[in-house]
Structure formats: structure tokens, C-alpha cells
Amino acid sequence: MKIFIYDQYMFPLSDNHRFPIGKYQLLRQAIEMDGIVAPDDLIVPTPATINQLQRAHSDEYLDKVENGRFSPSEIRQIGLPWSPELVLRCKHSVGATIAACRVALQEGVAATLGGGTHHASRDAGEGFCIYNDTAVAARTMQAEGRVQRVAVIDCDVHQGNGTAQITTGDDSIFTFSIHGEKNFPFNKIPSDLDIGLPDDTGDEAYLSALSQGVEQTLKQAQPDLVIYLAGADVFEGDRLGRLCLTKAGIGARDRFVLSRCQEAGVPVAVTMAGGYGRSIQETVAIQLQTIQMAVKL
């Protein structure tokens, strides 16, 4: 299985920042040590082009990102300090999701060790998200004539408001978000299918709701490609999560989504999305488990 990586593109961040920048390199190293894929299958993608980013974002917004012309409140909303290095990293993040989609369409499955920046909307960044990799990649696959219909299965604990906003009125992209109802973002934008769960939901109730949501998504969307946001922030040890899934429960989630797509004959591009474990090693272990699950299938 091919896995796209971009942790080499670092950007300036204070030591005590909430964004877990160290996670990306630790996850890559964990995969290398585990030996689940050949070293050649860990690939640095080309960055997304402005032309590709325009498929999901306005020219005004892209110009603002390029030149760092954000107001202090916009920077607060994004939660990351602007720098040219940050922009370059984000372009590689989107490039990784695009590449994972292309390869998934040829080989059935592929992954990126990042992506899932689902709070970025057409004209604004939010919650550590600058560009919406999912929307850009889905529309790029369509523009390249590789697919007609795409489904997004968003299992990050936070609602996929940016993806929903960008694809509102676009019947060719079906968005399904299963998330903590009381969690960020507080202004949720309706997806095609939303399942909002209470705090402390736990494995059993989560998996039951997920199963219904995935079945409805596959049936209604009839997708040629699924983009799966395998957020690790549903974990009980997450600082921002609150849904309280165990590591085994998250494994069951990944297995269910991946095997149902496989049975339905739909290729899957896997993105990592959020993960803010009180222990960064736990977040890495959960995301490693997701990758192992995808490789096995």
C-alpha cells in the first residue's frame, strides 16, 4: 500500500502549542519501524497547485493565504501562526490527499499520514485547517475524469463543516459526518448526512450509529471513490474528543468502514485527520493501527 508523507515540511510553532506537529514524524517512524509497507511505498507528494485549490476555494481567499493577509481574528480562528513554510506544508498536505485518491483508484486503497482538514471552507480557514484537502481532491479526481461520484466518510470527532459548506448543492459529492454533537465547531453546517453523538458515547453505541451511517452513505451516494477521515480524536484519551472510544473500538470502526467499502467495490483514500491525545504516543498508536488495518485489507 502506498502512503503519502509530508512531515519534512515543518513550520515555525511555539513549543507549547496545542497543534501536535510532532505526531506526523512519529507516525512515519512508527510505520518504518513496524515494516508494514516497503520503504519505497512511503512517498513525498508534489504540492497542490493553485489551479487545484481553486476547485474548493475562492481566489480572494487563496490570495490571502499566499500573502498572509489575515486579520488577528482570522489567525485566531485558524489557530496556527501564518508563515510561508506553513503554506508550503499545507499545499503538500493537499497534494498528499490528491495522490492518495489517484493511487486508491488504481490499487483499491492508499493513505496519507495527514490531511482531513475539514474545517476549511471556501473563504476561510478554521481549527488548524487552511485548505480543504478532501474537497480539493474529490473535485480534482472529477476534473481528471477519474470519477463521477465521491462520498466522504468523516469519522473525525469534529463535524465536517468546511467540507459541507464547500459541497453544498453539489450532488456529485456526498458528505457523511459522524461526530460529537456538543463539540467544536459550534456552527455546524449540514452535511448530506450528519450523526451527532452525545459526550461519552462509547464503542457500542458509536459502532451501531456508524454502521447505519455507512450503509446509508453507500446506498445514497453510489460513490466511485470514498475519502475516509479516520480521526483519532474519538479516543477516550483525547484532549478534545469526548466520545470516549477505546483503541479497540477505533480499530473496529476502521475495519468496518474499510471492509464495507471493499465489499461494495469502492476504492478508499484514507486520511488521518485529528488526534490530540493526552499522550502523543497513544495518538500515534491509534493511527498506526488504522494504517495496519488498511494494509491488511
Residues in touch with Zn ion (CB under 5 A): 156, 158, 231, 233, 274
Of the two residues 249 and 274, which places its CB atom closer to Zn ion in the complex?
Answer: 274
Its sign, for the CA torsion 163, 166, 169, 171, is negative
Q: How far is the CB of 50 from Zn ion (least distance, A)?
A: 27
Are 101 and 269 a contacting pair, CB within 8 Å? yes
Of the two residues 37 and 245, which places its CB atom closer to Zn ion in the complex?
Answer: 245
User: What are the distances in angstroms from CA 142 to CA 50, 68, 152, 199?
Assistant: 17, 30, 14, 37
Of the two residues 79 and 202, which places its CB atom closer to Zn ion in the complex?
Answer: 79
Of the two residues 52 and 117, which places its CB atom closer to Zn ion in the complex?
Answer: 117
Extract the C-alpha cell encoding 62.
Answer: 487563496
The residue of the chain with the least Cβ separation from Zn ion equals 274
Tell me how many degrees the CA angle 100-74-272 measures, rounded to the nearest 5.
Answer: 25
Ordered alpha helix ranges (H), 71-201: 72-78, 84-107, 133-143, 161-167
- Among the listed residues 205, 166, 161, 204, the one whose alpha carbon sits nearest the alpha carbon of residue 183: 161
Q: How far is the CB of 233 from Zn ion (least distance, A)?
A: 4
- Among the listed residues 78, 85, 89, 154, the one whose alpha carbon sits nearest the alpha carbon of residue 121: 78
Q: How far is the CB of 272 from Zn ion (least distance, A)?
A: 10
Q: How far is the CB of 149 from Zn ion (least distance, A)?
A: 25
Of the two residues 1 and 189, which places its CB atom closer to Zn ion in the complex?
Answer: 189
Q: How far is the CB of 134 from Zn ion (least distance, A)?
A: 13
